[in-house]
């Protein structure tokens, strides 16, 4: 199994877990699932280098970094697309209930309700969440990609010999 295949497996596992939780009746707010994504990104970055070195131990730092970046891009893309689909087709009320609570807070602070509802709806919707998910996952994964490529290149390669 290559690192990209493992990453795809992790991304589809995250999507299946999110869907299973929804259909099981467990309410998870959109931003509460982020720790799961961060854990899976760490696993994807570690195993992208691990599987590459297992296949060919002579691979250098650049190849380890490239494999990790390919994995993080694949994970971030799949999760962003799934997030958009999930919140537009499956859990269509997640943002409306979250936005209603935010609008109540703004109205309590003295802002007009129509204006608050318009601004909150423009910020918190499935498209903006999917965009934040992609860039947040890619940014977190990029730091992990560099760290794990360095870890595999300098330390874990020596343990294989």
The count of other CB atoms within 10 Å of the CB of residue 66 is 16
Whether the pLDDT of residue 161 is over 60: the answer is no
Q: Residue 88 — very low, low, confident or very high, per pLDDT cuts 50/70/90? A: very high
Q: Can you give the pTM of this predicted structure?
A: 0.86
Top pLDDT among 30 and 85 is at: 85
Question: How far apart (Å, rounded) are the C-alpha atoms in residues 14 and 34?
Answer: 11
Mean pLDDT over residues 86-104, rounded? 87
Max mean pLDDT range (1-10, 73-82, 112-121): 73-82
Q: Nearest CA to 36 among 11, 59, 56?
A: 11
User: Which residues lie closer than 8 Å to 9 by C-beta, 6 or more apart?
Assistant: none
What tokens appear for 46 in the block?
Answer: 């570690």
Tokens 């560099």, located at residue = 146
Query: What are the tens digits of pLDDT across the range 36-65?
Result: 999 999 999 999 988 888 888 888 889 989
What tokens appear for 57 in the block?
Answer: 């131990």
Q: Nearest CA to 47 among 149, 139, 133?
A: 149
Mean residue pLDDT of the chain comes to 89
Question: How far apart (Å, rounded) are the C-alpha atoms in residues 15 and 12?
Answer: 5
């Amino acid at each position: 199994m290559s690192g990209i295949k493992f990453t795809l497996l992790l991304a589809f596992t995250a999507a299946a877990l999110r869907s299973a939780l929804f259909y099981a009746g467990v309410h998870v707010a959109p931003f509460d699932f982020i720790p799961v994504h961060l854990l899976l990104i760490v696993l994807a970055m570690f195993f992208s280098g691990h599987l590459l070195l297992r296949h060919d131990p002579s691979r250098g730092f650049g190849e380890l970094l490239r494999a990790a970046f390919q994995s993080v891009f694949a994970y971030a893309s799949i999760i962003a697309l799934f997030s958009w689909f999930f919140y537009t087709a499956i859990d269509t009320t997640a943002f409306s209930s979250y936005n209603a609570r935010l609008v109540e807070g703004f109205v309590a602070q003295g802002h007009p309700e129509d204006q608050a509802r318009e601004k909150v709806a423009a910020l918190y919707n499935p498209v903006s969440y999917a965009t934040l998910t992609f860039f947040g996952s890619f940014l977190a994964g990029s730091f992990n990609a560099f760290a794990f490529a360095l870890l595999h290149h300098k330390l874990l390669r020596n343990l294989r010999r």
